[in-house]
């Protein structure tokens, strides 16, 4: 059909932009409140040595779920501490507990409202269907724009993703209260509130707690997804392990998440009827926990250092001593961590996330003319969209100008000689790449932007395909990282290969899997190898198992980037 495309995406973008501006004050308030609550939880659970919290959790699990699970809790938490993931576990627990608290605070009242009003239920049900079926990653996009990069958008996205079971089960539990009990309460002249709190909610409590349990498990399942926007904890450890192909670290962090999931699941399942309630009253246990929380909070307040990192009017004070980074496994992130050490910037924090999250945070700060420091590279469309500059690097932490190389698997020359020739002869300039990136940034599909550039640059394409044997529908798998430069180059070379008789598949992966895939032969090639510095660690690891065809683009650059209105010029000025 030749019907014009409905600009739904553009409408959504406009709506999100309007909401971001119109409710900026509200979002700032919510961000401060959530960060304050999260910091409180982390401080309370971090008071004293780790063994204190381990014993508390062990006793709580043993009380609710019997002593065998208490022993399991003790062993598993000691193992987490031994493996070095205790601090990450504390952060993950705080995120999940806070998400669960928000779920209870908002989800149960909405569920009650649904049970009492057919109209509300008819409105809320399709919304819940939408929330449960929409991919969780989608929630991260507006969350970044509304709340910035960090833990807050991760918590908000987790809350939205996890709240549906609490609402549904609360509604279901109240509706399943026997009608004769409702009639009896009405006959005795109960008010609506008396009927709700003395009849319906007590009888519906098991169902409601089952919904809360499901919501907590869903929130825990979001910890890895939330790490894409800078949320700390075990999710970030898993994400880092995936991007770096670190199997051991991934298993350790994943196992820690499993232990925490089991512990939280058993506590929430048996909290209503603890196994040893006949020995110690539930009210006594809850009172003891409340006292422990208060004591820990007071102790943490007294002992917490209130050291000021520096002048609040300095660039560090204005940016909260944060550098907005990208994917944790990217070579650029390793370079930045090394730079922080070389320049002794001990107060600064490199925030892990993703390339998209970094750009979103840059856009948000730039529109408000607020100072911000990001990890950047060129060519990149953000330099043509925003007025930016690199900070000088006297210690040469980021190296000099770099190249983007083409690397292919061993045996490709014999299996697909024409494709090998085209990949070997592929080379273009920064200006060429930027043409494609600008079109993609403007909303054009990457494949369409690639076709547009190819049609306008047939002379350059002819140089790449000169002497290349035409393919016979052989499959070629190209892998790339989700940088705008690589999206542009991979789509262009992919279209050229298709036009020369090859069946091309494009696969977006992290940098570690990209190199590993070519080295083990599960991928054929990439035109995304940043050398000699950015991807050096991965290159050295796998260099004996692939063929380096040399640069396809010369003169790239990486480093710390700030808007030109920020009054600093060198990394040394961050001290």
Give the model's pLDDT for residue 257.
Answer: 92
pLDDT greater than 90 at residue 490: yes
pLDDT greater than 60 at residue 307: no
Give the model's pLDDT for residue 218.
Answer: 87
pLDDT tens digits for 502-545? Answer: 999 999 988 888 999 999 999 999 999 998 888 888 899 999 99
Which pTM value belongs to this model?
0.76
CB atoms within 10 A of CB 84: 13
pLDDT greater than 50 at residue 308: no
Distance in angstroms (rounded) separating the CA atoms of residues 501 and 417: 12
Mean predicted confidence (pLDDT) in 100-122? 92
- Domains defined along the chain, listed by start: 86-274 (1.10.3720.10), 315-399+563-574 (3.40.190.100), 402-557 (3.10.105.10)
Beta bridge partners of 562: 389
Confidence of residue 158 (pLDDT cuts 50, 70, 90): confident
Give the model's pLDDT for residue 156.
Answer: 86
pLDDT greater than 70 at residue 26: yes
Distance in angstroms (rounded) separating the CA atoms of residues 537 and 529: 11
For residue 444, what are the contacts with CB-CB under 8 A and spacing of at least 6?
452
Mean predicted confidence (pLDDT) in 75-83? 95
Beta bridge partners of 505: 477
Confidence of residue 100 (pLDDT cuts 50, 70, 90): confident
Give the model's pLDDT for residue 303.
Answer: 60
Give the model's pLDDT for residue 548.
Answer: 95
User: Which of 333-342's residues contact partners 24+ apart within 8 Å by CB, and which partners?
Assistant: 333/375, 334/537, 335/397, 335/398, 335/399, 335/533, 335/534, 335/558, 336/375, 336/560, 338/397, 339/393, 339/395, 339/397, 339/398, 339/560, 339/571, 342/395, 342/397
pLDDT tens digits for 228-256? Answer: 777 888 888 888 887 777 889 899 999 99
Distance of CA 21 to the CA centre of its chain: 24
C-alpha distances in Å from residue 158, one per residue of 85, 223, 543 = 21, 8, 40
Tokens 């065998």 belong to residue: 68
Query: C-alpha dihedral over 512, 515, 520, 526, to 10 degrees?
Result: 140
Mean predicted confidence (pLDDT) in 475-500? 92
Confidence of residue 304 (pLDDT cuts 50, 70, 90): low
Give the model's pLDDT for residue 277.
Answer: 86
pLDDT greater than 90 at residue 317: no
pLDDT greater than 50 at residue 13: yes
Q: Give the residue among 298, 207, 264 at the shortest CA–CA distance from 60.
A: 264
Distance in angstroms (rounded) separating the CA atoms of residues 173 and 374: 49
pLDDT tens digits for 198-220? Answer: 888 889 998 998 999 999 888 88
CB atoms within 10 A of CB 15: 11
């Amino acid at each position: 059909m030749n019907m014009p495309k409905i600009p739904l995406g553009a409408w959504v973008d406009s709506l999100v932009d309007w909401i971001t501006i119109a409710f900026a004050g509200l979002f700032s308030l919510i961000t401060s409140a959530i960060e304050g609550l999260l910091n409180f939880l982390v401080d309370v659970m971090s008071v004293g040595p780790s063994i204190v919290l381990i014993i508390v959790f062990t006793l709580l699990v043993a009380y609710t779920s019997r002593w065998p699970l208490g022993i399991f809790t003790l062993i598993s938490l000691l193992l987490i501490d031994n493996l070095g993931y205790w601090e990450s576990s504390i952060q993950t627990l705080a995120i999940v507990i806070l998400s669960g608290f928000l779920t209870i605070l908002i989800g149960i009242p909405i569920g009650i409202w649904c049970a009492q009003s057919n109209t509300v239920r008819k409105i809320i049900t399709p919304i819940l269907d939408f929330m449960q079926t929409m991919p969780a990653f989608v929630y991260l996009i507006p969350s970044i724009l509304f709340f910035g990069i960090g833990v807050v958008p991760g918590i908000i996205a987790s809350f939205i993703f996890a709240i549906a079971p609490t609402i549904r089960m609360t509604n279901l539990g109240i509706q399943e209260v026997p009608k004769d009990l409702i009639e009896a309460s009405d006959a005795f002249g109960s008010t609506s509130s008396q009927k709700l709190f003395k009849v319906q909610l007590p009888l519906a409590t098991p169902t409601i707690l089952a919904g809360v349990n499901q919501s907590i498990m869903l929130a825990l399942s979001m910890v890895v997804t939330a790490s894409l926007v800078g949320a700390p904890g075990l999710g970030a450890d898993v994400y880092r392990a995936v991007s770096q192909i670190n199997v051991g670290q991934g298993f350790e962090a994943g196992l820690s998440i499993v232990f925490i999931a089991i512990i939280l699941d058993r506590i929430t399942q048996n909290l209503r009827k603890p196994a040893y309630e006949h020995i110690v009253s539930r009210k006594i246990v809850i009172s003891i926990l409340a006292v422990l929380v208060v004591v820990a909070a007071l102790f943490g307040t007294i002992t917490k250092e209130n050291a000021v990192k520096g002048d609040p009017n300095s660039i560090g004070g204005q940016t909260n001593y944060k550098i907005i980074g990208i994917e944790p496994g990217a070579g650029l992130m390793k370079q930045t961590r090394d730079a922080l050490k070389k320049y002794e910037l001990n107060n600064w924090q490199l925030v892990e996330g993703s390339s998209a999250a970094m750009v979103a945070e840059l856009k948000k700060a730039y529109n408000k003319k607020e100072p911000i420091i990001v990890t950047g590279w060129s060519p990149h469309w953000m330099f043509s969209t925003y007025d930016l500059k690199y900070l000088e690097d006297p210690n040469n932490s980021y190296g000099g100008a770099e190249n983007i190389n083409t690397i292919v698997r061993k045996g490709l020359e014999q299996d697909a000689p024409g494709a090998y020739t085209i990949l070997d002869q592929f080379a273009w300039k920064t200006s060429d790449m930027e043409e494609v990136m600008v079109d993609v940034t403007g909303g054009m599909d990457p494949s369409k932007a690639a076709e547009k550039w190819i049609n306008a640059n047939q002379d350059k394409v002819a140089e790449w395909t000169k002497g290349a044997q035409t393919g016979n529908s052989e499959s070629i798998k190209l892998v790339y990282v989700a940088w705008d430069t690589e999206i542009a180059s991979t789509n262009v070379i992919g279209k050229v290969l298709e036009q020369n008789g090859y069946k091309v598949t494009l696969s977006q992966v992290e940098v570690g899997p990209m190199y590993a895939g070519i080295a083990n032969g599960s991928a054929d090639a990439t035109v995304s190898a940043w050398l000699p510095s950015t991807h050096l660690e991965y290159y050295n690891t796998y260099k004996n198992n692939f063929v380096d065809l040399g640069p396809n683009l010369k003169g790239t650059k990486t480093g710390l980037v700030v808007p030109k209105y920020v009054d600093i010029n060198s990394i040394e000025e961050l001290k």
